[in-house]
Structure 1
Amino acid sequence: MSKHKVDEIRNVAFVGHGHSGKTTLADLLLFKAGIGTRAGSVDDGTSLLDTDDDEKEKKQSLFSHVCRYEHADHRVNLIDCPGYPDFIGQVCGALRAVETAVVVLNANAGLEVNARRCFQLATDEHLARMIVVNRVDGDNVDIPKLVASIRDHWGSSCVPINVPNGTGSKFTAVHSALQIKGDVPAGLPLNPQDYHQALMDAIVEADESLMERFLGGEEVSEDEIIHLIGKAIGHGTLIPIMFTSAKTGVGVQELGDALADYAPTPLDEDHHATGEGGKDVIINPSPDEPFVAQVFKVRIDPFVGKLAYLRVFSGHIAKDTTVQDHRNNKMIKLSNLLEVQGSKSEPVDYATSGDIIAIAKVEDLSVGDTVSAQGVHVDFPPIHFPRPMVGLAVTPKTAADQQKISVALHKIEEEDQTFHVTREAQTHEMVIQGMSDLHLQAIVHRLHKRDKVDVNTAMPRIPYRETCNMNAEGMYRHKKQSGGSGQFAEVHFRIGPLPQGIVPEEYFIKERFESLRSFHYDPVLNYAFVDCVSGGSVPNNFIPAVEKGVKERMEKGVLAGYQVQDCWCVLFFGKDHPVDSNETAFKTAGRQCFKEVFAKAKPVLLEPIVKAEITVPGEKLGDITSDLNTRRGRMEGMDTLPGNFTVVKASVPLAEIQTYARSLSSITGGQGSYTFEPSHYEVVPGNEQQKIVASSKVHEEEE
């Protein structure tokens, strides 16, 4: 595909917060490279990248978009990523395909939450990082304050390589801080001489031999130092800051030059994989090596079908070549290789190391898959995506929607690894999970628009559980006569609470359970059915039916209609009838006896508790802790992050954190973020339990 040598390729991702101008910058770089008759615009819907109907309507990126252009004999493969945290999954995939992450900042807004998050993701991926301060032509821009904030948050490796000549309407040019020629104009927001030596030091730090010469007092020319700037960026000793206005084009040429001249090539970065025997291996990026690539994105195109986007890390591939998918160990023929430019694609005959391509009509490929030539035994690490935080229960509106919804949701799951679909066994709800309310609203809109599926939505029911607090005993006789053979069964139960963490073989012993014959223990529910029948009062062949009836009742709950757990049920006596007793009768008796005896055993509700980590500006810590107290949260610790941010660790009831995203955004002005994961169940406080029980409708079966 690429006519360039591997060392002439640059793979770059534009990341950052929404409305920082990433897409407009990308469109302008494409236009300057001779692509299109005018620079695309997000505002008027002519962007070459934001071509999805929803993106045009909202005037913001919802998906990552791949494009390419030529600059000074270099091939730049650029991935433009969405800026809102709701669509962070698109960023995670894109970062796996590149060597350089360009974090774009809005000069007026500063270090917004998703810019910080993207910077950290790029750091975790060991990528080279560049910072572009865009919209310098805006009003009320304070460049010295912003640069100080960048260096405070992200370290002294962040150094301007050029400086603006002004802000607002006075921003008409940038001046190099690398090579200062002549007198520096007066009145610049930043003095390039203030950063020149810091640049030299950062570059020297990346080269050991140069450092030794420098420290030994040997004279090192500036040209010699500047020649190594790309190495410094690749090693992370330098994170260059540049200034632009995508609106006026000021600084964009210098940005394009920096990407072509300084961004690492595929030869400069080590890409690690797992080889045979679990050994860590570094992939050789030579085009002469065996073919190795990874899928970093999947898109369902309404015309082409499923497209799998691959980054080629080694070797080369020709169309109609058969390769191995390591996830399922299948051999796949790659018949349709495509070169992508925004929403458009063109067939190509081959691709080589460093290229980014798409593969059409290969249904088996999924995001994260390693594909290679036959006989190559390496696997790239999985791409890590954040866990969805927000849920929404969905029900199809019509029978036609019911038939289409599963396929439609599966397609979206293939495209978006931060979107999950679950069928809640306890509440019987179909729940879609995503990063935020906005994320899920976009999913529902896509279902309607693309897949012609309409759904009703509601907050998911909380999967409470029920248990008991004391021992109780009772019996139930089931007797039914309606002509002919009747039904008769009588069972006697003891029910009590079962502590968590028991060893069943040590707990269920005759010293504790008199006349113990056997027990069946369920580790998931921490529940045991105990057979203590003596004298054959319940025939052995009917005991499984009794146990089945108990399980049915446990699933339906007794107190408020929720699954019962953490208890034992002892069957110790009963009666049968030689003619009218059967399995159905004993199952019914078991079901009803459990209901009545459990109701006497001080039943209580249990609620799911989650472990939450909340990242907030330090000045908002008091507001956050106060809000957590109103949500029945328990503080469990705090960590301090650079830039005056704090991570609050807390245990919070799931019911109290379902709508937390909105509150957190309101409290922190959009600067906070959070994650949580399921932890355990705890007893619901009495006043809360009364509300839940009062609003629950327990389905009573007809006996």
Structure 2
Amino acid sequence: MGDKAHAHPGAAGRAVTADHPSCVRNVVLVGHSGSGKTTLVEALALTAGAVNRAGRVEDGTTVSDHDETEHRRQRSVQLSLVPLAWDGIKVNLLDTPGYADFVGELRAGLRAADAALFVVSAAEGTEGITGATRMVWEECAAVGMPRAIVVTHLDSARADFADITRRCAEAFGADDPDAVLPLYLPLHGEQGPDGHAPVTGLIGLLSQRVYDYASGERKESEPGADQLPPLREAREKLIEGIIAESEDESLMDRYLGGEDIDFTTLVDDLERAVARGVFHPVLAAAPAAEGARQGIGTVELLELVTGGFPTPLEHPVPAVTAPDGTARARLTCDPRGPLAAEVVKTASDPYVGRISLVRVFSGTLRPDETVHVCGHGQVGRGHEGRSLLEADERVGALSAPFGKQQRPLTRCVAGDMACVAKLHRAETGDTLSGKDGPLLMEPWDMPDPLLPLAVRAHGKADEDKLSQGLSRLVAEDPTMRLEQNPDTQQLVLWCLGEAHADVALERLRGRYGVQVDVVAHKVALRETFADRAVGRGRHVKQSGGHGQYAICEIEVEPLPGGSGIEFVDKVVGGAVPRQFIPSVEKGVRAQAAKGVACGYALVDVRVTLLDGKAHSVDSSDAAFQTAGALALREAAAGAGIHLLEPVAEVRVLVGDDHVGAVMSDLSGRRGRVVGTEQAPGGRTLVRAEVPEIEIGRYAVDLRSLSQGTGRFSRAYARHEPMPAQLSERFREQARTAP
């Protein structure tokens, strides 16, 4: 690698197309926020000739100009596709957000890609390799996805390429540190007054050549005498690492026997080892200087991507079934095969409407053809989001995104990606297939949103638009969930974190013109009787003509949790006529639903109708309903009322180093730890029961406790009596409420 003559396609202004899967590379960029992923994408676009020397597309925008929210926040918040061409290969770069709140966009990128570039900042030392990044590395390793590492921010005063490479080997090469090795060493220029020597190029370890970018153009030369000792030492280690992963078992014996392995053999073995996901080269890259045509290391990185990363032909197609669950034969990446594509992202454009980013796994997708749309509902959560969707839709225009532009395409072959306009029914995760052979792809896992955001329309004008705006947000982002809570009557948008929630509100305002107010999220409390009580309901009114007359006497006693409301009739002698007994029950149940102390539903009691009185003319269904409600309220006034709070079963998966902090935190939330068990990868599963009032912000707090590596799930367990001091606080709030 490093001595090829490259053809620069000059693709600016034209859509990059692919005729066959072998001419495509799908690469996702992974790294925490601020590591330099987007800057790297722009540098690669410049080197590939997709943008001009100012880094601009012909309309003056950059390849990273996608979303106004990103501009305001100076942070990527969504998955973006940048297609490039290099040496006749189409490279689809998938730039993902690095912030944990947008992990859904990252997982969509992993689904669509065949290889990953992990971007690590040399300026941040150990902090540049976060626990969350290591977890993504492990996920890629579990499925055998090829990975390489790109070191950025080499010009920082703290940058130390040798140190960051060693740290990468420790973090990512736990099983085999010699499988994480650099392909190039940085070339430093003259030392400045501050003692810092800028990086001006690279030294190729396999090619033993110097690639100097100081002039703004990549120039090749022989290494100097002072560069040979470190070059030889690093080169020997690299060769040993490559040979150790070689499929040619005789190569190690030849090398140990003193044979000089030729350059071509080493490069071929390196590329095969990278494609198999067993060797992970470390490269360095930096953006181009002002007026330069190439950034440092960008040519070398594009060589690795096109030569070492696998084609879609080598990536297994996700399993498919018929919509009814009937098994189907495993598909292959064949442009002539049956159509099987997947919506990996959905977005809305104010001018074009809905745009779906689609990865075609089999067959060829063309504009204006009719496809079958089939979906699981919300990605990774089975059929909970909505019932299985099936519909035929006509595909709109196909295009390749480039910044704010959409460049037309005539087709999208298996292995490639494209944007599809006007798929009104398709949502993220849905499958597109031939209408005569409908298919459904196995969904990918998405995290469950666990941070509640209760919202209401700001004004009357916003009420009509709110529901549609929220529905569109959820359709675009499967890591959001919309809930209309029947107990609290709140509209709740469940998000992954505070930044996720802020972006949702910003898009509601900017994209859909909906102003909303955020209100305190309510937890569905309950009320119940602490002991036995009796009550008498008397509803007697005379106002001329027919009056209202109904009297009933009841007894209320508590029942075990989960019993609900029982109504028992023990009236004798017809004191309450038979036709009005259901009326009493209806009134009791209506009052129980409204609550008897703080406005929360009454549960787990038995109400027994003992006696009553009726009038031959003035008694009615409505009168006895009112009397039943009054009797229940009187019984409650003379009895102790417990407030019941929901308790959740919480399962926290966290690294062993953070178990103590997590368990202590759960105890501080009035939680009861009920067990722990070891999990793979040096993690522990902590099981606890915690009041839901205490875990409203746990999605945010756990991230801080575990340095972004902890995960948790929650499920309703039961309602339990609330502590007296906390209960009194809620009673006081109910008394002072307007």
Q: Would you say same fold, with TM above 0.5?
A: yes
Partners of 1:192 and 1:651 in 2: CA distance: 56
Cα deviations by residue, 1:92-137 (Å, 9 ceiling, x for unpaired): 2222222122222222132124423433554566533333232233
Which residue, 242, 248, 263 being the options, matches 1:199? 242
Partners of 1:235 and 1:565 in 2: CA distance: 60
What SS does the aligned partner of 1:48 have?
coil
Cα deviations by residue, 1:357-416 (Å, 9 ceiling, x for unpaired): 111122111111111112324311123221112222222222112222122222211211
Cα deviations by residue, 1:410-466 (Å, 9 ceiling, x for unpaired): 221121112222222222222222111122122222222222222221221222222
Partners of 1:324 and 1:73 in 2: CA distance: 33
Which residue, 106, 109, 112 being the options, matches 1:94? 109
Which residue, 62, 72, 81 being the options, matches 2:77? 62
Residue 242 of structure 1 deviates from its aligned partner by 2.6
451-460 or 165-174: bigger deviation: 165-174
Matches within 5 A, 1:596-611: 596-600=634-638, 602-611=640-649
Partners of 1:176 and 1:278 in 2: CA distance: 53
Pairing 1:267–2:313 present: yes
Residue 256 of structure 1 deviates from its aligned partner by 1.3
Matches within 5 A, 1:297-312: 297-312=345-360
Q: Where does residue 38 of structure 1 map in the other structure?
A: 53
Pairing 1:290–2:331 present: no
Matches within 5 A, 1:640-659: 648-659=686-697
Q: Which amino acid aligns with 2:468?
A: V
Q: Where does residue 351 of structure 1 map in the other structure?
A: 412
Partners of 2:616 and 2:572 in 1: CA distance: 18
Residue 22 of structure 1 deviates from its aligned partner by 0.6
Q: Where does residue 162 of structure 1 map in the other structure?
A: 183
Q: Where does residue 677 of structure 1 map in the other structure?
A: 714
CA distance 1:347–1:630, shift in 2 (3 Å): same
Residue 215 of structure 1 deviates from its aligned partner by 9.2
Q: Where does residue 372 of structure 1 map in the other structure?
A: 433
Pairing 1:695–2:736 present: no
Residue 331 of structure 1 deviates from its aligned partner by 1.6
Which residue, 483, 486, 490 being the options, matches 2:544? 483
Matches within 5 A, 1:327-476: 327=375, 328-476=389-537
- The CA RMSD over aligned residues, in Å, is 3.4
Residue 537 of structure 1 deviates from its aligned partner by 3.8
Q: Where does residue 244 of structure 1 map in the other structure?
A: 285
Partners of 1:689 and 1:325 in 2: CA distance: 50
Q: Where does residue 215 of structure 2 map in the other structure?
A: none
Query: Is the contact between residue 366 and residue 414 of structure 1 (CA under 8 Å) also seen in structure 2?
Result: yes
Q: Which amino acid aligns with 2:621?
A: E
Partners of 2:326 and 2:409 in 1: CA distance: 35
Which residue, 542, 546, 568 being the options, matches 2:606? 568
What SS does the aligned partner of 1:49 have?
coil
Query: Is the contact between residue 343 and residue 430 of structure 2 (CA under 8 Å) also seen in structure 1?
Result: yes
Residue 316 of structure 1 deviates from its aligned partner by 1.1
Partners of 1:189 and 1:537 in 2: CA distance: 105
Residue 658 of structure 1 deviates from its aligned partner by 2.1
**TM-score, with structure 2 as normaliser:** 0.82
Pairing 1:138–2:179 present: no
Query: Is the contact between residue 605 and residue 689 of structure 1 (CA under 8 Å) also seen in structure 2?
Result: yes
What SS does the aligned partner of 1:329 have?
strand
Q: Where does residue 106 of structure 1 map in the other structure?
A: 121
**TM-score, with structure 1 as normaliser:** 0.86
Partners of 1:650 and 1:215 in 2: CA distance: 56
Which residue, 276, 279, 302 being the options, matches 1:256? 302
Partners of 1:526 and 1:444 in 2: CA distance: 38
CA distance 1:616–1:454, shift in 2 (3 Å): same
Matches within 5 A, 1:493-508: 493-500=554-561
Query: Is the contact between residue 367 and residue 397 of structure 2 (CA under 8 Å) also seen in structure 1?
Result: yes
Residue 187 of structure 1 deviates from its aligned partner by 5.7
Query: Is the contact between residue 175 and residue 192 of structure 1 (CA under 8 Å) also seen in structure 2?
Result: no
Partners of 1:274 and 1:170 in 2: CA distance: 52
274-283 or 312-321: bigger deviation: 274-283
What SS does the aligned partner of 1:282 have?
coil
Cα deviations by residue, 1:553-582 (Å, 9 ceiling, x for unpaired): 222222322122333333344332221221
Residue 299 of structure 1 deviates from its aligned partner by 0.5
Query: Is the contact between residue 468 and residue 602 of structure 1 (CA under 8 Å) also seen in structure 2?
Result: yes
Which residue, 541, 562, 570 being the options, matches 2:579? 541
Q: Where does residue 324 of structure 1 map in the other structure?
A: 372
Q: Which amino acid aligns with 1:243?
A: A
Q: Which amino acid aligns with 1:196?
A: I
Partners of 1:376 and 1:679 in 2: CA distance: 40
CA distance 1:192–1:283, shift in 2 (3 Å): same
What SS does the aligned partner of 1:326 have?
strand
What SS does the aligned partner of 1:17 have?
coil
Number of aligned positions between the proteins: 669
Partners of 1:239 and 1:568 in 2: CA distance: 68
* Structure 2 unaligned spans of 5+: 1-15, 189-195, 210-222, 290-294, 376-388
Q: Where does residue 96 of structure 2 map in the other structure?
A: 81
Pairing 1:14–2:42 present: no
Query: Is the contact between residue 166 and residue 172 of structure 1 (CA under 8 Å) also seen in structure 2?
Result: yes
Residue 290 of structure 1 deviates from its aligned partner by 1.5
Partners of 2:143 and 2:330 in 1: CA distance: 15
Identity of aligned residues (%): 30
Partners of 2:175 and 2:206 in 1: CA distance: 16
Partners of 1:47 and 1:385 in 2: CA distance: 30
CA distance 1:608–1:218, shift in 2 (3 Å): same
Residue 287 of structure 1 deviates from its aligned partner by 0.8
Partners of 1:610 and 1:246 in 2: CA distance: 49
Query: Is the contact between residue 105 and residue 115 of structure 1 (CA under 8 Å) also seen in structure 2?
Result: no
Q: Where does residue 512 of structure 1 map in the other structure?
A: none
Partners of 2:680 and 2:282 in 1: CA distance: 19
Q: Which amino acid aligns with 1:80?
A: D
Residue 468 of structure 1 deviates from its aligned partner by 3.1
Partners of 1:550 and 1:587 in 2: CA distance: 7
Q: Which amino acid aligns with 2:37?
A: K
